[in-house]
Every structure is written in C-alpha cells, then in structure tokens.
Amino acid sequence: MSAKQKNVVLLILIVVAAVLVVRMFVRCPFTCPMKPKAGGKTFIEFDIQQDKKIISLSTFSEPPQMAIWLEEPVSHKYKTIYVSYRTGTGDMVGKAECPGCLPLWFEIYNRETGKKGYPKPDNPAPAAVTGATPQEEKFKIVREIEAGSKWICWMEMNLAGDFNEKYQEYNAEAKTADDDFSGQPPLVYRCEIEVIAGKKYVPALYGQVDMRKPFEQMIQPVSPDVTTAKEVFKSIEISISTTEPNQPK
C-alpha cells in the first residue's frame, strides 16, 4: 500500500471515529423519545372504541357516562380532564341528580374542588373538562398535559340500564327495584403514565364501584356477575404527542 493510499484510509478512519463520537452525545430522533421544543405543547390523547351493539341492548340505548382523571402519585391530588356532559352538569333526564351514575368520580371531584354534593345546572363542572357524550363507535378525547410529568390515569364508565340476571330492574324475590336504572355497576380502568411524546399505554380494567362503601373501599374486584358491562369498551389506548391530534367537534 502506497503512502497516498495509507493517508486516504487514515482519513476515512478519522471521519468514522468523529461520527461515532458525535452520535454518543447527540440523541438520535429515530430511536429516542421525542423531547418537546422549548415553548411547545404536549398532548394526551385517548382513542376509545365502544361497542354500539351492546349499548343498543341497554334500556335507553344511550352511550355510557364516563369520566377521566389523573392522580399525582406522590401527593395523591386529583385533576379531572374529562367528564361527559350529563354527569358534569347534573343535567339528568327526569331527575335532579343520579348518585349512582359515576359515584367514584363524584367523590374525586369533591376532593379535587373542595365542593360537596354533585354538579348541578347552576353549579356545573368547568366547561374545560366537560364534553358531549361520544355517540360514534370510535372517538378521541384530547387534552394538553405537562411534558415529563407522571400520573396515575383513571377512567370510570357506567352504562345505564344494562340489566342482567344478577343486576335486575326488578328483583321479584327480594322485592326491590333499581329506581336509578343503574344496571350493572360502574367500572374503573387504570394505568400509570409518563408524559413522554411517542409513549403509548393501554388502561386495564381495575375494578367495579360500590357507592355504599367508604371512599377508600369503593373500588372492589370485578364480580363474575358483571357481564356485558366489561365489553362496552372494545379498546382504549392512550398516546402522548407534541402535535395536537384532530378531534371531532
């Protein structure tokens, strides 16, 4: 090998070594979680698919009421980010209030705001978190969220009038009636999240809600007697993004 060829090889080795050193200190955008630009926004997106066939079998054939809130893991402070309109405003059909609608969220909301009782038309939950009850089979809920933060994410869902063999509209043997048309109990989903763009999470069914229990015991294991309520949501996916996703009006 001539001296000229040796110099060319040496130059190539130096360039390759320089590239490797630079890559050690610079994050690769294709393999690393995206870091939001200074002054940019970060969003949490819930992509939910509900089973309209199961919903149609309920007494009212209306989509479930639901609420989503975040819990700070250390301080255990709560932050509601979505609640369906009727629950968040107290605009119930044919009744002033419905304690069995989303009983766990009612307790969370009171602890979050320092209020007592239920949201009412003259004292509703903030418009920023209240949204129309999704009618479509697939829908999105999008909210801005602090980048880098960590949370426990909770969802409570209740499909009114979803009676079954255990949860009956009228129990002839016990001679009791479900006057609130609650049907099967509200269900709770849960997952832990870290707000890093590109991350995705799937909440798991965590329990059912018993409004007769003290707050700390309201979440109970899901009973085998709960049937179709577990299938109302076909899928739930949470994703973190620095680009605001499109969502229906």
The boundaries of the domain holding residue 20 are: 1-32
130 plus 26 within the same structural domain: no
Contact 224, 194 (CB under 8 A): no
9 plus 95 within the same structural domain: no
Residue 247 lies in a domain: no
1 plus 52 within the same structural domain: no
The residue type found at 158 is N
Residue 232 lies in a domain: yes
User: Which among 68, 88, 70, 69 is positioned nearest to 130, based on CA atoms?
Assistant: 88
Q: Lowest-pLDDT range, 28-42, 133-147, 220-234? A: 28-42
109 plus 154 within the same structural domain: yes
8 plus 81 within the same structural domain: no
15 plus 47 within the same structural domain: no
Residue 214 lies in a domain: yes
Residue 95 lies in a domain: yes
Sequence-distant (6+) residues with CB within 8 A of 108 are 67, 69, 78, 80, 154
Residue for token digits 């294709």? 30
Task: Map residue 98 onto helix, strand or coil.
Answer: coil
Question: What are 91-106's pLDDT values in tens digits?
Answer: 876 565 677 899 999 9
Contact 211, 158 (CB under 8 A): no
pTM of the shown model: 0.81
Question: What are 170-229's pLDDT values in tens digits?
Answer: 777 776 777 778 899 999 999 999 999 999 999 999 999 999 999 999 999 999 999 999
Residue 2 lies in a domain: yes
Question: What are 54-88's pLDDT values in tens digits?
Answer: 999 999 999 999 999 999 999 999 999 999 999 99
88 plus 5 within the same structural domain: no
112 plus 154 within the same structural domain: yes
Give CA–CA dist 64/50, Å, rounded. Answer: 9
Residue 248 lies in a domain: no
131 plus 200 within the same structural domain: yes
120 plus 217 within the same structural domain: yes
Residue 189 lies in a domain: yes
13 plus 87 within the same structural domain: no
Structural domains of the chain, count: 2
Contact 155, 60 (CB under 8 A): no
46 plus 166 within the same structural domain: yes
Residue 211 lies in a domain: yes
